[in-house]
Structure 1
Amino acid sequence: MYLGYAFDHGVVLVTTDRLGVIALLPPDVPEPDDRFQAEVAGLHGDRLAAVARAQTPAPPAGAWNLATLGVHPGRQGRGLGSSLVRAGLAVVDGRTPPGARVALETSDDRNVMIYERIGFVVTATTPVDTGLVVHSMLRDPGIDGSSTTG
């Protein structure tokens, strides 16, 4: 459902074996309608409500959103996620000036290291009442001079 929305409005890349996927949304993406948002909320249950209560900072104006990155558990830890992120960023850079800002949020500490290796930096950490911490991250060469293409 969400990948269909991203496919209609942004960039979706899927590995040929369908064991990995990434979705990125441009800064001018339209808001999903109320029915869509209600369905997504229902699928996420209590976890979404807890994360929604967290006051995470808004991404910078004009930033793309790395909305989804998923890798089949049997393929995790082998670089597939990193490869998908690099490929997705290359597509974004082909549509915008190279090095465009791309924002994301993750509540998995393991993901922070992966994204940092690709050139993202943590811009905020927000505790959630469930004990989770949401890490807001940004790929912005103006912050640390890193480049993600290559």
Structure 2
Amino acid sequence: MTGTDLKVACCSLAVHDVDEALAFYRDVLGFEARDDVGPQGVRRVGVRSPTQPVVQIILEAPAEDPLVPPADRQAIEGLMVQGLLGRLVFVTTDCDAAFERIEAAGAEVMQEPIDQADGVRDCVFLDPSGNMLRFTQPLRPGTRGR
């Protein structure tokens, strides 16, 4: 098996509240909900972008999982509060439009759109659970600065 045989199919994000996270990813980002299930009563919801349906993000609340020991739950919650647990990067064709739409929905802004030295324009938000979401737009030569 070589690296070219591998593709990302799924990743998971720890969230404080699955319903709150689902509302954000569905209503603000426009993702579709999938696979709203979970073992032993622990709810996990998959969401996916309509433009990239083969990749799914699983939203799950580790604090609700009875198999996670209390000390581990506390450690996970501490990392979540600090915004250190989950980070996702999304590619967009219009960083500024994405910023305006997500900011208008009330998401916490970490960075307004700026041109980066590596040839992208990006902005950063936190989701309702403190996961960092970066929205990046590749810049064409000669398009720096708006």
Q: Which has the higher helix share?
A: 1
TM-score, with normalisation over the residues of structure 1? 0.30
Structure of larger gyration radius: 2
Q: Which has the higher strand share?
A: 2
TM-score, with normalisation over the residues of structure 2? 0.30
